Amino acid sequence: MSDFITIDGRKIGRNYSPYIIAELSANHNGDINRAFQIMEAAKAAGADAIKLQTYRADTITIDCDTEDFQIHGGLWDGQTLYNLYKGAQMPWEWHKPLFDKAKELGITIFSSPFDFTAVDLLEELNAPAYKIASFEAIDLPLIKYVAKTGKPMIISTGMADEQEIAEAVNAAKEGGCKELVVLHCVSGYPAPAEDYNLATISDMAKRFNVITGLSDHTIDNTTAIASVVLGACVIEKHVTLDRNGGGPDDSFSLEPNELNALCRDAKVAWTALGQVNYAKKESEKGNVKFRRSLYVVSDIKKGEKFTPENVRSIRPGNGLAPKYYDDIIGKTAREDIKFGTPMSFGLVE
């Protein structure tokens, strides 16, 4: 695989600043105008892309209330899968207006399809990329169907073990995917930072020979920013207008000011990472003169010996480096030397 991929003209890889995806998910709360407002906020915050989720309740589950389909505990306690997804789904007739809005704003938009018909809809809208959600990472037929579009793919790996990740990556490649990013993820809502084991990101890049990133469900930015140093080229976070908005995903989503901070700080972290470099940096060159060096700290007569009492390592740095101290002590002065004179070998007999 290449060391970068391109989505909508934007290069994504270790040599480029992190690609920030604002996950709109179900935070529209049934109001397309709220979806538009989230898109506007994401653009203003500096996000690279908006991501949708494309499914219908009938395409992701069935309307059944037996125990298998009940949710117990967590954010969605007491609901059936069908009712949860029916309330959270993005109406398919919204997709074109949302894609049009993204074009108007100048922000990339793509989606996570959850079945073949969702892929077909997104292809009609000329989606520039596709995301496979963590819960679908084991749906190899879906991955292969998406891969056949030839578009860049991003696969989240929440709950997936090493073998399942390998199977998903292989399915994408076998399906024809040439540009792939794999996101480390913990599918808890919210997920505690201590569950993330960010060291997995760099291991994943080597083990599967892919560009890596992070799908982050923690409720602040610390984990996401830290991931950049370990090789995360993509960061995905759920975004809302109001964390207390009452929607199914609002409570673990970033608000606009937090997204703005993520976009800013992730880029700072990437810039700070840089390359291996032991040379003096521009910002410190002016301070070199204030490092320690050897100075005469009391008047010395010609022929007098240099001693710890008349030569010391002090600031500033205009004299000999302190490493020459033992070479100087015990030698004699070639001439009279005044207090405050920087030491040089020319002063030594």
In this structure, which amino acid lies at residue 105? Answer: L
Residue 197 zone, left/alpha/beta (φ > 0; ψ -120 to 50; rest): left
Average pLDDT on 280-303 reads 95
Query: Which of 134-143, 239-248, 328-337 has the least mean pLDDT?
Result: 239-248
pLDDT score recorded for residue 213: 98
Residue among 302, 315, 346, 301 at smallest CA distance from 328: 346
For the stretch 253-276, pLDDT in tens is 999 999 999 999 999 999 999 989
Domain spans of the chain, in order of start: 8-55+90-273, 282-347
Give pLDDT, residue 232. 98
Residues in a beta bridge with 49: 21, 108
Mean pLDDT of 231-239: 98
**What mean pLDDT value characterizes the chain?**
96
Tell whether the model's pLDDT for residue 189 goes beyond 70.
yes
What local confidence, expressed as pLDDT, does residue 228 receive?
A: 98
Q: Is 235 helix (H, G, I), strand (E, B) or coil?
A: strand
Predicted confidence band at 76 (pLDDT cuts at 50, 70, 90)?
confident
pLDDT score, position 295: 98
Query: Taking 70 as the threshold, does the pLDDT of residue 151 lie above it?
Result: yes
Q: Which residue has the tokens 């080597």?
A: 206
CA 253 to centroid of chain Cα atoms: 16
pLDDT at position 260 is: 98
- Write the CA distances from 234 to 18, 47, 163, 222, integer angstroms: 5, 11, 22, 15
Q: Does 282-347 carry CATH code 3.40.1390.10?
A: no
Strand partners, 348: 333
Omega cis (within 30) before 113:
no
pLDDT band at 167 (very low <50, low <70, confident <90, very high): very high
Same CATH fold assignment for domains 8-55+90-273 and 282-347: no
Q: Please tell me the predicted confidence (pLDDT) of residue 313.
A: 98
- Assess whether pLDDT exceeds 70 at residue 1: no
> What does the pLDDT average to over 60-69?
96
* pTM for this predicted structure: 0.89
Cα separation, 67 vs 186, in Å, equals 25
Neighbours of 2 (CB within 10 A): 11
Specify the pLDDT at position 74: 86
Specify the amino acid at residue 242.
D
Nearest alpha carbon to residue 249 among 271, 227, 217: 217
Geometric angle at alpha carbon 321, from 318 and 325, rounded to 5°? 120
The CATH code that applies to domain 8-55+90-273 is: 3.20.20.70
